[in-house]
A and B are shown apart, each in its own frame.
Chain A
Amino acid sequence: MLDMLDFLKTEGVQPRILSEIERFRGQFPAEGALQRRVPVPRYLYYGREIWEEAATALLCGENVLLVGPKATGKNVLAENLAAAFGRPSWDVSFYINTDAATLLGTDTFADGAVTLRKGPIYQCAETGGFGILDEINMAKNESLAVLHATLDFRRSIDMPGYERIVLHDAARFIATMNYGYAGTRELNEALASRFVVIDMPAIPAEGLMKLMTREFPDLRPEYGTHFASLFQDIQKKCDGGELSTKPLDLRGLLAALRLIHAGLEGNRALELGLVNKSFDDFERQLVLDVIRARLPEIIRREDVFA
């Protein structure tokens, strides 16, 4: 298994921060059933500065809010952080109906009695886990008010009818948000002030190359560059307001590469992975044009992979 600390060393993260993370891991080891909840990252986040900022904030006991447009690696970083700190994590995907019950827990009926079914935030608080609050701004601000006491200096959860619990010392919350997505809203000041905010930059070509090469070690470097440039072409189109962010899909690009690796012709794979992510005919045409202007008409597996 990849040691996250070794990876961070190769990324050039300051040794002082690395030794602090190591100390944290020694102080709060994940044991027993919790060990299974420590994530094993599928992808790695590349970017020394962001790593240093996020790790320092968590070491100082802060909660972190990762803000950035689509395909900037917010979730990858959140998962990587939990792995680097060796803490169990709970993923909570926020949506419009997220309410106190979804987060903290809800009454349920068992054996003829009303009991509490603990929510992910409650479990995080008890066990000192890392709560990853995905797309936190999808939920209504008023339903997030229940988190205020959990996220600020009080570090506690007080549910009516149940015991007040104090957060475990290792518990941290990492929230992600994207201003551009449909359905998102502005985070109110009260909630935003309970996080330190990291503005996530777009993945540079170099980062994309590393990501693809780690995933596909046999990827030919020239094709790695072409795919990275293609992704940046689409990114520019989104920044220019010509495309929605639907086709700007890093997961989709990697899925397309996987399909090419399995033998599917490249353009068809890119259609499945990127083009068809948009459901608007004209938008699909624009993405096809970008692909057609960048890559050859026929892309065979042996062209792309050694």
Chain B
Amino acid sequence: MEILDSEKRRARNLIWNAAGDYDFEPELKAYDQDGRADLYWNSIIGTARRLYGSDNLQRLFAALEGHPDQQLFEQLIWLGLENAAFARESACRPALPALRVSYARRVLALEHARPMDQLLDVLESAHFRRALGQSPAMTPGNREMLDALEFPGDLDGPALARRALDFLHQYFHFTPGASPAERKPPRRRFLAFRRSGKGDLPAVRGFGYGYGEHTVPSDGGGTEAGPPKRRITDLSVAQSEAALQAYIQNFFGPSLYDPHTVRELESELCAGDHRDCRLYYARGDDMRDGDVRGYAGAQRRAASKQMEKNKAAYQADLVRHRAGIQRLTARIQNALLAYLQPAPVRAASGTLDPGRIWRGIYLDDDRVFTRILRTDPGDLSVDLLLDASTSQLDRQATVAAQGYMIAESLTRCGIPVRVSSFCSLSGYTILSRYRDYRETGANERIFHYFTTGCNRDGLAIRAVGKGMEDSPCEHRMLILLSDARPNDVVKLRRGGSYLDYAGQEGIQNAAREVRSLLHRQISVVCVFTGDDKDVPAAHTIYGRDFARIRSLDQFADTVGTLIQNQIRGLS
């Protein structure tokens, strides 16, 4: 079952709302059995954080980590926390009693569908029967355990954590920090525990009668990324064209287009300076495919790990990133509203038009003045192209976050945006498409961005320019996140000789492709992500239409100005 990004964001919002704090990434988000954000549980999770303190809860759940019954313990503790948080909060939030009753009814409705022979089921069902004012039939032992588990509302954070650990110790002989050998066997060994697991638990696992998504701790952002891995850059490794194609497919995932369409695109685009190149259009949505083995499989696993890093780096500076999105959104909206086209109209007041005065006198027509009105400049769509070559290796998390911020801001302004990344490998220029114009809820896929291989900027710009013909809008804009350092193994043919696609040759080629888009009324801007020494190259390729981001704080203003200037020029 897939949990949609929109439901994840909803769950986060419910937790933030109840916690009264928007500056943290929740460690647990709850969903119902259909994967929808659970209104009641997420409110309880946020409330518990506010009432008992994040540190206390973190320490409490950290103490359970690694225990074979971690999942069971977590769910039991959350039942207890629910009882405590509800008791304390229900007076201030009249919605809570109704939400609890409706959740309890759902629990009881679902319990018919599953066997009730497991401890967690028994306790959960009895707890929510009590919430509905019923007296559930239970064994005296279970009743005693449930009484102990239903923590009262008047405890503070540390007292509640102590109470929870005492409960686990009393009924499960759990001692925080004890090794498995030191743990005594549980007193109630005869009972089977629902959904208990060992070792590394999955991030999304059973929670109540739905799912809980736990934050996976990550090991930092892209700036600490490891050294570049070995790359396969020539045909000999893959041995044949078919094997190479299979290798590229394994590496980047299934193709976006059927082979026939790709051949047609190649015959049109891989011409002139790019005649010996090939194209591959990948879906940039998911890199997790356990069946892919070998080097390509290892790369996909690395890409998957990079996605976690990208997300973690974004989350680590969430507030500034969000502020950036908000500011950039306002900038773009301003630009869209502010730079409307002037249209002179005849009016009864304004600037006198002497040639029409006679109409006032002889025809009693008082519209002898001119006024300037502004009209709509027409629709705009944006293509965002991220340079995904190894030269961006140290900046992966930054580029992903910047791409996400731009895409999210444009989406919020209602501008259709398509996001792709490009790199070159073994003669192929690969365009991975993370989201298409209409996929407004898919911006988080941009975090799948990872770098590898070289970059043939000229061909990528040409291919994206071709793709922009699908745009539903009158005006089109291409925003590149690039270090302006084209470099590819397939050489440029010049008469009888071959030149490296690098240095000045590469720069001139990229500049020509940009100019070709400009001639087709596509505005091109670059968010420059490179080093000082490459600034002249960015000048050559993009003219004045590039901006350099030195710090996150000036990101929104700089990119905003860049986009604003382009919108001003729409005609």
Cβ–Cβ contact B373 & A97, under 8 A: yes
Cβ–Cβ contact A292 & B99, under 8 A: yes
Cβ–Cβ contact A294 & B93, under 8 A: yes
Query: Which residue from chain B places its CB closest to the CB of A242 in the assembled complex?
Result: B13
Cβ–Cβ contact A292 & B325, under 8 A: no
- Find residues 409-440 in chain B having any chain A CB closer than 8 Å to their own CB: 412
Digitize A207-236: 1 where CB-to-B-CB distance is under 8 Å, 0 elsewhere.
000000000000000000010010001001
Main secondary structure of the interface of B (DSSP, over half): helix
Cβ–Cβ contact A242 & B10, under 8 A: no
Cβ–Cβ contact A185 & B338, under 8 A: yes
Digitize B452-474: 1 where CB-to-A-CB distance is under 8 Å, 0 elsewhere.
00000000000000000000000
- In the bound complex, residues from chain B placing their C-beta under 8 Å from that of A236 are 16-17, 20, 22
Partner of A107, one of B10, B16, B350: B350
Stretch at the interface among A9-17, A109-117, A148-156, A248-256: A109-117
- Find residues 338-361 in chain B having any chain A CB closer than 8 Å to their own CB: 338, 340, 348-352, 360-361
Query: Which residue from chain A places its CB closest to the CB of B93 in the assembled complex?
Result: A294
Q: A236-B22, A297-B98 are in contact. Are A112 and B326 (CB under 8 A)?
A: no
Could you say which of B37, B95, B322, B372 has the most chain A C-beta atoms within 10 Å of its C-beta? B95
- Find residues 135-185 in chain A having any chain B CB closer than 8 Å to their own CB: 140, 179-185
Partner of A295, one of B94, B337, B369: B94
A241–B408 CA distance with the chains assembled, in angstroms = 12
- In the bound complex, residues from chain A placing their C-beta under 8 Å from that of B441 are 282
A97–B9 CA distance with the chains assembled, in angstroms = 38
A295–B338 CA distance with the chains assembled, in angstroms = 40
Cβ–Cβ contact B322 & A241, under 8 A: yes
A285–B36 CA distance with the chains assembled, in angstroms = 12
Q: A97-B374, A182-B334, A236-B17 are in contact. Are A109 and B368 (CB under 8 A)?
A: yes
Partner of B326, one of A229, A241, A296: A241
B508 proximal to A (CB < 8 A): no
Cβ–Cβ contact A240 & B334, under 8 A: no
A93–B546 CA distance with the chains assembled, in angstroms = 36
A285–B17 CA distance with the chains assembled, in angstroms = 13
Task: For the complex, count residues of B whose C-beta is within 8 A of A.
Answer: 49
- In the bound complex, residues from chain A placing their C-beta under 8 Å from that of B22 are 236-237, 239-242
Shortest Cβ distance from B369 into chain A, in angstroms? 7
Digitize B232-256: 1 where CB-to-A-CB distance is under 8 Å, 0 elsewhere.
0000000000000000000000000
Could you say which of A96, A226, A294 has the most chain B C-beta atoms within 10 Å of its C-beta? A294
- Find residues 247-289 in chain A having any chain B CB closer than 8 Å to their own CB: 282, 285-286, 289
A108–B357 CA distance with the chains assembled, in angstroms = 11
Partner of A296, one of B14, B43, B94, B334: B94
- In the bound complex, residues from chain A placing their C-beta under 8 Å from that of B93 are 293-294
Shortest Cβ distance from A114 into chain B, in angstroms? 6
- In the bound complex, residues from chain A placing their C-beta under 8 Å from that of B95 are 292-297
B118 proximal to A (CB < 8 A): no
- Find residues 105-151 in chain B having any chain A CB closer than 8 Å to their own CB: none
Cβ–Cβ contact A226 & B94, under 8 A: yes
Shortest Cβ distance from A160 into chain B, in angstroms? 12
A290 proximal to B (CB < 8 A): yes
Q: A107-B349, A241-B325, A242-B22 are in contact. Are A293 and B337 (CB under 8 A)?
A: no
Cβ–Cβ contact B6 & A282, under 8 A: yes
Query: Which residue from chain B places its CB closest to the CB of A223 in the assembled complex?
Result: B94
- In the bound complex, residues from chain B placing their C-beta under 8 Å from that of A117 are 349
Partner of A293, one of B99, B322, B330, B333: B99
Q: A239-B22, A295-B94, A296-B95 are in contact. Are A184 and B334 (CB under 8 A)?
A: yes
Shortest Cβ distance from A195 into chain B, in angstroms? 21
Partner of A96, one of B10, B338, B368, B369: B338
Partner of A183, one of B20, B326, B333, B412: B333
B18 proximal to A (CB < 8 A): yes
A101 proximal to B (CB < 8 A): yes
A244 proximal to B (CB < 8 A): yes
Question: A-side interface residues toward B, CB under 8 Å?
Answer: 96-97, 101, 106-110, 112, 114, 117, 140, 179-185, 226, 229, 233, 236-237, 239-242, 244, 282, 285-286, 289-290, 292-297
Query: What 6 additional pairs, Cβ within 8 angstroms, besides A97-B374, A106-B369?
Result: A96-B374, A97-B373, A106-B349, A229-B92, A237-B16, A293-B93
Residue pairs across A and B with Cβ atoms less than 8 A apart, 28 shown, are A96-B337, A96-B340, A96-B374, A97-B374, A107-B349, A107-B351, A107-B352, A108-B348, A108-B349, A179-B330, A183-B338, A185-B334, A236-B22, A237-B16, A240-B322, A241-B322, A282-B6, A285-B10, A286-B10, A286-B13, A289-B13, A289-B14, A289-B39, A294-B95, A296-B95, A296-B97, A297-B95, A297-B98
